[in-house]
Amino acid sequence: MPKVKFKYDLKKDAWSWVLIAKSQKRLAELKKDWRKEVEFIPKELLDKILKENSQRAEILVYNHLISHPQKLIRQLVIREQLRSLEKVWRKIEKEFFRRLEQITKKPVFRKEFKCYLTTGFMCPYDPRDNSFMISMWHSIPWNITTICHEIFHLQFLYYYEKYCRKLISQRKLDDLKEALTFILDTDFKDLLISEDRGYPAHKELRKKLKEIWKKDKNFDRFLDKAIKIVKKTKIIN
């Protein structure tokens, strides 16, 4: 049975800060307030991040984190958060992966997933190593839903990305991937306290997909219908 491993890594945290800082345009398209998402970054540092390329910006953030005046108390909080989160996750882990396989009609593609905690607000995943992030600032219920959300993304992309890209653009695939997590609210709701709401820009798309999923939960047939719908749905205003 697959396992989620919980970790904190300064380099991953720095990567997360930079990714969010440089996502202003995409977050605007998704109707998310970029300014709120980067409030945790000191303005002077944010300005420097935006001026540098990603590699240099990550070094700046790493140096900021490693010399942070609250470093010791943050380490204590992070350690306790990860311990508590893991304890709760283990109670639902087996059932979550069982249902994920049942819904996608595919075995879980990895035996181990790395879940990193970030001191930022948003929780991106990293396709380079199939890892993902949870936030120090979020509650345990919220982070449990985030874990399920990100693993759902990774499972979907591993098995269906190539198929979808033959039919839709990368941007449309990104929209579809995000909208598909409505399934967490319909088929995993007894495991999750925090609702998976998705991005505001995908509200109508999620609603449309939910309706066809109710009628036929065969994922392959559903995906073909979902692709047709996402082709016709305008996300960016």
Q: Is the pLDDT of residue 86 over 90?
A: yes
CA distance 56 to 38: 18
**pLDDT recorded at residue 85:** 98
Q: Is 114 helix (H, G, I), strand (E, B) or coil?
A: strand
pLDDT tens digits, residue range 87-118? 999 999 999 999 999 999 999 999 999 999 99
Extract the tokens encoding 161.
Answer: 């990305």
CA distance 202 to 165: 19
Give the helix ranges, DSSP H, for the chain.
10-21, 24-29, 34-37, 43-51, 54-66, 71-104, 140-165, 170-179, 183-187, 203-215, 219-232
**How many other β-carbons are positioned within 10 Å of the β-carbon of residue 33?**
11
In terms of Cβ atoms closer than 10 Å to its own Cβ (0-12, 13-18, 19+), residue 20 is buried
**pLDDT recorded at residue 237:** 46
Q: What is the mean pLDDT of residues 56-67?
A: 97
- What is the model's pTM? 0.95
Q: What is the mean pLDDT of residues 120-139?
A: 94
- State the first-to-last Cα distance of the chain, in angstroms, to the nearest integer: 43
**pLDDT recorded at residue 234:** 84
Extract the tokens encoding 127.
Answer: 């396709």
